[in-house]
Amino acid sequence: MEPEGVRHRTVEVARGVRMHVAETGPEDGPAVLLVHGFPDLWYGWRHQMAALAARGFRAVAPDLRGYGDSDVPSAADCYSTFHLVGDLVALIADLGQPQVFVAGHDWGANVAWQLCLLRPDLVRALVNLSLVYNPRRSEGTPLQAIRAFCGEDHYMCRFQDPGVAEAEFALYDQRHKFKAILGMRNSAPIILSKGKTFFDSLDSDGTLPAWLSEEDISYYADKFEKTGFTGGLNFYRCMDLNWELSAPWTGAPIKVATKFIIGDLDALYNAPGVKDYIHKGGFKANVPNLEDVVILEGVGHFLNQEKPDEVSEHICEFFSKF
């Protein structure tokens, strides 16, 4: 359940787009912007919000556009990283602080990387979970790279056609979907073999993980019953559009002070080439102020919920240095 003292409000972040924001902690405390991934909500950061507030930070967790109680634009191309970064820039302006701390997970980590690339002046320090930073390369699009490494049946490729993934998701009970996704432990890439849906390809049988409650699952189920999954899926459908629009930043490094945390059972850690990239200097070359990399043993993708105390301590300790 959500921590005590959470305040809810909406902020107009773009013309016709209002963002739901949950926050806790002193309003005059240094702000920490917590950015969720897919398929998640502000609620995924509930443990970190309580820990940050206890340390005197103002923890601010939005529902990104397309999610939860935020607006859901209808056009797929309204979900580029430039739109998402623009929403965060508007939210930061609303907070009234010249700089904020930022933590991101999954797609939220990608948005946080891009915020640091496009507006480093707004970010005091960064903690990202699960998704490494890879600068834009000119030789091919993200989807071309995924197809080359994992084939056409990688889940990100299968998410591309509007309506197809939505129809597959609709086959399953809402509560089962979140038990299966949040509880997945298979570290291999998610490949959807012919005739198999995304949920058929997960290793989770829908048993409630020990670190979640039925109330947690109900919160997710109720919110996604309202919005559906199209908004979140549109993030994936803009991957090549993001590549096209980001040509001016080809090869650009991230210069913000950074800490990175990932679970050793996370499929993103076990994707082709990622371990070597993290541990043999490539990651540090592209994020020169990368101060620490933490590998949590026996932990899957949703590490901020699976190991809330450890992740909260890492975040609080790192931001307290600044």
Contact predicate 156/236, CB 8 Å: yes
Under 8 Å CB-to-CB from 37, ≥6 apart: which residues? 44, 104, 105, 106, 107, 108, 109, 130, 131
Which residue shows structure tokens 């797609």?
107
Q: Reduce the DSSP state of residue 260 to 3 states and report it.
A: strand
Q: For residues 284 and 86, what is the distance between their CA atoms, to the nearest angstrom? A: 27
Please identify which of the residues 106, 133, 216, 277 carries the catalytic annotation.
106
Please identify which of the residues 36, 83, 105, 301 carries the catalytic annotation.
301
Told to judge if 47 belongs to the known catalytic residues of this protein, a careful annotator would answer no
Query: Which is nearest to 85 in space by CA: 106, 68, 108, 101?
Result: 108
Largest CA distance in the chain: 54
Q: For residues 73 and 83, what is the distance between their CA atoms, to the nearest angstrom? A: 11
Continuous segment of H or E residues that includes residue 146: helix 142-150
Told to judge if 176 belongs to the known catalytic residues of this protein, a careful annotator would answer no
Told to judge if 106 belongs to the known catalytic residues of this protein, a careful annotator would answer yes
Please identify which of the residues 43, 133, 219, 236 carries the catalytic annotation.
236
Give the pairing of strands 17-24 and 7-14.
antiparallel
Q: For residues 123 and 153, what is the distance between their CA atoms, to the nearest angstrom? A: 37
Half-sphere exposure (Cβ direction) of 18: Cα atoms closer than 13 Å: 6
Residues identified as active-site: 106, 236, 301
